[in-house]
A and B are shown apart, each in its own frame.
Chain A
Amino acid sequence: MARRKGIKALLLNWRVLLLIIFLVGSLAAIAANGLTYGIDIGGGVALIAKPEKPVSGDTVNGIITSLQNRLNTFGVKDITIESQRDPETGESLIVVKVANITLDEAKQIKNLIESQGVLYMEFNGVIFATGADVTVHSSDWGLNPRDCSTCWYVGFQLSGKAQDNFKKVASGKTGWPVDIFLDPPTNSLLVVSSRVYQELQNPADFNGKAGTQAPTLLERIEKAFNITVVEYNNQTAEEIIANATNLGKKSIIIADLPESLYNQVKDALLQAGSKIRVSYFTPQPNEDMRDFVKRILNLYGPYTLKFDPAQGNSDRLQLSGSAATKEEALQEAKRIYSVLRSGSLAVKLHVISEEYISPTLGAGFKKQAGIAGIGALIAVLLIVYYHYRRWKIAIPVASTSLFEVTIILGIAALIRWNLDLPSIAGIIAAIGTGVDQQIVITDELLGGSPSGKVARRMGLIKRMARAFFVILASATTTIVAMSFLLMYFVGTLKGFAFTTILGVLIGVLVTRPAYAEIAKHLLSLD
C-alpha cells in the first residue's frame, strides 16, 4: 500500500510531470508533423554557390527569388534556397537544397544555377530586349482597380535601344502577343507528342487577340531562339540525334513521350561521346497543355500589346492581366515582377560544393540510423547493468535516454527542423553526455561509498546539489562551445550544434531532474 502511494506521489512530482508532458507533446508533434529529413538522409542534392563578385544583401535576395523562379520549372519538388553570410569576409553563399530527385535532375539544377538567368522579350519572332535592357523600379506592381477589380500590373522601363527595337517590330500591331522568356532552351531540338505539337500552334492560347494573323508560338520560337520543334512519329533515338547534330543543336528536349525514349537518347549520346545534352519533360497531374508548354519553354505570358508603341514617347511600359481572385492577381503580379527583376541580374553564380544522395540510398541510411540508435541504447542498458547489477538503475538510465531522443525529435518535428547526418551526430553527443550525467546522479544517490557511512554524514539534498553543480557546469560549457559552432559555420555543421544544444538543454531542464526523482524513488524502495 505504501508502495503504491509512493508511485502516485512520484507521478505527481512536478519534475516527473514535466517529463511526461514533454514526452506526450513530442509524440503528438511527431505524429502530427512527421519528421523531415535532410538531403543526406532523405535523398536529393545540396549545392552551395558563390556569387562571382561580392554582392549586397539586397542583390542576394534578388538572386534567391530569381533562382526560385527558375527552379520552379522542375515541378512540385521540395526546394529550399537560403543565403548564408560569412561573418568575417561578409561574403554571401547561397545554399540550394532539392529533395528527392534523380541524378540527372541534379545535374540539370547545377547547370541552371551556374548559367546566368537570361530574360528575353520577344515580339513576332524578334528579340527586342534582354534582361540588361529592363529596369524595374522597386514595388512598381500591384492591383489595377481602374480596369477591373482583379486586374494587376507590373511597370518597367526599357533602355533606349530596346525601346527603338520595340517600336520597329511592334508598330501597328496592337493586340499581338508579347512573350517573355527566362532561360529559354535556345538552340535545341524539341521532340514532342502530337498534342503538344498542336498546342504550340494554338492561336487561342498563345496569340493574344491577333489570332491567326500573328505567327504561331512554334514559328516565333524557331525564329527567335533557333528552337526546332518536331512531332514524334516513331523516330529512333539515332534518327533524333542525327537530326539534332545536322541542325547544329546543343540540346534535345523530349516532351510528353515515353521515358524509355529519353533513356535511349541519353545512352546513345553517352555512347557516342556527344556534347549534346538531353532533358525530359512530362506533364504534371492537373497541368493543362498550355501550362505544360509554358513550363518547357520557360515562357511567361504571352501578354497582349495594348497600344501602338510607335505613338507616344514614354519609355515606361506596363504589363497587365487579370486573374480569378484578388489574391491570385497579386500573386501573379509579384511573380512577373520578380521575373523581370531577376532577368536584370548581372552576377554569375559558381557552384563550389555539391553533394548528391539517391533517394533509395537515403532510405537505407534512415533504417541504419534507427538500428544504430537502438543498438547504442541496448549497449548503454547492458553496460550500466554490468556496473551496478541492478535493473532498477539500468532500465531508468536507458529509458531516460530514449525519452530524451524522443523529445529532441519531437521538437525537431515541431519546428520542422531537417534531420541530417550531423544533426543525428549531435543527438548522439547529447545522449552520450546525458548518460554520463545520469551516472553522476546515480553514484551520488548511492552515497559514493559502499559502507553507507558517508551517506549518513552528508544529506541527500547536499549530494544532489553537488551532482547538479557538475551537470550544470558541463552543460554550460557545452552550450557555450556549441554556440560558436552555430555562429561560425556555414552549411553542414549547424545541425550538429543545434541538436547538441537542444539535447543538453532538454537534459538539464527536463530529463535529468526527472531521472533524479525516479532514481531516488526506486533506490529508496530497494
Chain B
Amino acid sequence: MASKKKGKAPSRPADGILESKRRRLSFLVRMEPKKMILYPLVVFVIAALLLAVHPPEKGIDLKGGVVVTVYHISATPDELAKYVKDKTGINVRAEKFSDPITGLSGIRLYAPAGTNPDEISNAIQLKYKNADITPRVVDPTFGKIAQKQGIKAVIYAFIGMAIVVFLFFRDPIPSGTIIFSAFSDMVIALAVMGLLGINLTTATIAALLMLIGYTVDSNILLTTRLLRRKEDTAEDAYLSAVSTGFTMSTTTLGALLILWLVSTSDVIDSITIVLIFGLLADFMNTWIFNAGVLRWYVASPFKFTLKLRRGS
C-alpha cells in the first residue's frame, strides 16, 4: 500500500492527479501474485490455441500474387471486377476501401499469382482515364525468400533480445520472465491478427519486431524498479512502476490510434493495428504477469541470493 503520510511538500493539483491514478491502479496491488501469474497464462494459452486453429493469412508479399489498387475511380467494386473479367478474362476479387479523414478511396483488385498486371491496368486505363493505378506484383519465389527471411529476422532478433536481457539482469527468473512476456505478446498479437483478418506481411513482421522493443522497455522498467528497489516496500515500488507504465502505454496507444485514423497507407495501418493489440497484451504481460512473478520472487527465499548477486 502506498504510504499516505502528508509530508512537508506543498500539495499541488498534480499530486492529486498522481494519487488518484495510483488509487485506481491499486487494485493490482491487492491482487494475489498467484492469480497475477495464472490469468495471463490462461490468455496466452487461449491465444496460442487460436493461433494454431486460425493463423493469420499470408499477404501477397509473402505468398506471391497480384494486387492492383485503383484510386480516383467512380465504379463500384462489382462493376469493376465484371468489367475486368469481360475485357481480359481474368478473375479478380474486388474490395473497396476508403479513409474517413483524408477522403481518399479506391478499389483493390486481387488476382492470382502469375497474372499479368499490365492487362488489367491497360483495360482499366481504357475505360477510366483519370484512375490512378498502382499495380503490385510479387512472384511466389520472392514471397518465399521474404517469408524465410522474415522468420529468420524475428527468431534472431528474439535471441538477440534474450541475450541482452540476460546480460543486463544476470538472473534466470527475471530475465526468463521478460523473454516469456515478449513471446506471449507476439503470440497474442498474431492471434488477434488471425481473428481480425490482418495479413502477415513484411510490414506486420516489422511491427512484431517493434513490439520486442516496446515490451522490453516496460519489462526492464518494472524489473529494475522492483529489484533495485529504493522504496520502502515492494508494493510501493510496484505501484510507482505501474503508474509510470500506465502513462507510457496510454501515451503510445493514443499516438498509434491517431496514426491509424489518419493514414491510408496499408503498410502504416497494419503496423499500427498490430502494435495496438501487442501493446494491450504487453500491458497485461508486464504489469500483471511479470509483476506477479517478481513479487513472488522477491518475497520468496531466493530473494537473498539475488541481493548478494546484484548488490545495489
Query: Could you list which residues of chain A lie within 8 angstroms of chain B, going by C-beta atoms?
Result: 40, 48, 50, 86, 88, 91, 93, 103, 107, 267, 270-271, 350-358, 360-361, 364-365, 368-369, 371-372, 375-380, 382-384, 387-390, 421-422, 424-425, 428-429, 431-433, 435-437, 439-440, 443, 446, 448-454, 457-458, 462-463, 466, 469-470, 473-474, 476-478, 480-485, 488-493, 496, 500, 504
Contacts and interface: CB of A to CB of B under 8 A. Distances in A.
Interface string B246-263: 011011101111110111
B76 interface: no
B7 A477 contact: no
B306 interface: no
Contacts of A469: 224, 228
A497 to B, nearest CB: 8
B181 to A, nearest CB: 13
A449 B240 contact: yes
A488 B132 contact: no
A147 B288 CA distance: 84
B126 A267 contact: yes
Contacts of B22: 450
Contact of A453 (B3, B145, B152, B268): B3
B250 A387 contact: yes
A428 B259 contact: yes
In the complex, which of the residues B6, B8, B145, B158 has the most CB atoms of chain A within 10 Å of its own CB atom? B145
B258 A353 contact: no
Interface string B109-148: 0000000011001110110000011111111011001101
Interface string B267-291: 1100100000000000000000000
A177 B152 CA distance: 57
A457 B153 contact: no
Interface in B236-252: 236, 240, 243-244, 247-248, 250-252
A477 B3 contact: no
A484 B252 CA distance: 25
B157 interface: yes
Contact of B265 (A421, A440, A450): A421
B135 A356 contact: yes
Contacts of A388: 14, 17-18
Given A383-B251, A449-B2, A449-B236, A103 B133 contact: yes
A448 B231 contact: yes
A488 B134 contact: no
Contacts of B198: none
Chain B binding surface SS class: helix
Contacts of B132: 358, 360-361
15 contacts: A40-B267, A86-B145, A353-B61, A354-B117, A354-B137, A432-B252, A432-B256, A433-B214, A437-B217, A440-B221, A462-B230, A473-B216, A482-B157, A484-B160, A489-B150
Given A358-B133, A368-B263, A484-B157, A466 B7 contact: no
Contacts of B268: 372, 421, 424-425, 428
A384 B251 contact: yes
Contacts of B57: none
Contacts of A463: 230
A380 B2 CA distance: 28
A439 B244 contact: yes
B4 to A, nearest CB: 7
In the complex, which of the residues A379, A450, A470, A483 has the most CB atoms of chain B within 10 Å of its own CB atom? A450
Which 10 A-B residue pairings sit nearest by Cβ, starting from the closest? Answer: A452-B9, A352-B139, A481-B157, A352-B142, A484-B156, A480-B160, A478-B213, A448-B240, A372-B262, A354-B137
Contacts of A492: 61, 202
Interface in B198-246: 202-203, 205-207, 209-210, 212-214, 216-218, 220-221, 224-225, 228, 230-232, 236, 240, 243-244
Chain A binding surface SS class: helix
A457 B3 CA distance: 15
Contact of A361 (B2, B134, B263): B134
A481 B139 contact: no
Contacts of A353: 61, 137-139, 142
B97 interface: no
Nearest to A448: B240
B251 A380 contact: yes
Contacts of B71: 361
Contacts of B136: 354-356
A425 B271 contact: yes
Contacts, number: 274
B305 interface: no
A436 B118 contact: no
A186 B281 CA distance: 61
Interface string B138-175: 11011001101110110011101101110010000000
A185 B80 CA distance: 35
A162 to B, nearest CB: 36
A425 B4 contact: no
Interface in B16-70: 17-19, 21-22, 61
Nearest to B246: A387
Given A361-B134, A488-B152, A372 B259 contact: yes
A449 B243 CA distance: 10
A380 B250 CA distance: 9
A470 B271 CA distance: 25
A352 B141 contact: yes
B309 interface: no
A477 B250 contact: no
Given A435-B251, A480-B161, A270 B258 contact: no
Nearest to A486: B153
B255 A376 contact: yes
A451 to B, nearest CB: 5
Nearest to B262: A372
Contact of B164 (A361, A383, A449, A477): A477
Contacts of B224: 466, 469-470, 473
A492 B61 CA distance: 10
B213 A433 contact: yes
A88 B15 CA distance: 56
Given A375-B258, A478-B213, A485-B209, 16 more contacts: A86-B145, A352-B139, A368-B262, A376-B255, A380-B254, A387-B17, A387-B21, A389-B17, A422-B206, A446-B18, A448-B240, A482-B209, A484-B157, A485-B153, A488-B152, A500-B210
A458 to B, nearest CB: 4
Contacts of A379: 251, 254-255, 257-258
A133 to B, nearest CB: 33
Given A424-B268, A436-B248, A448-B231, A490 B146 contact: yes
Contact of A103 (B125, B157, B265): B125
Contacts of B255: 376-377, 379-380, 383, 428, 431-432, 435
B102 interface: yes
A75 B249 CA distance: 51
A456 to B, nearest CB: 8
B161 A481 contact: yes
Contacts of B263: 368-369, 372
Contacts of A450: 2, 9, 15, 18-19, 22
A439 B213 contact: no
B231 A449 contact: yes
A446 B15 CA distance: 10
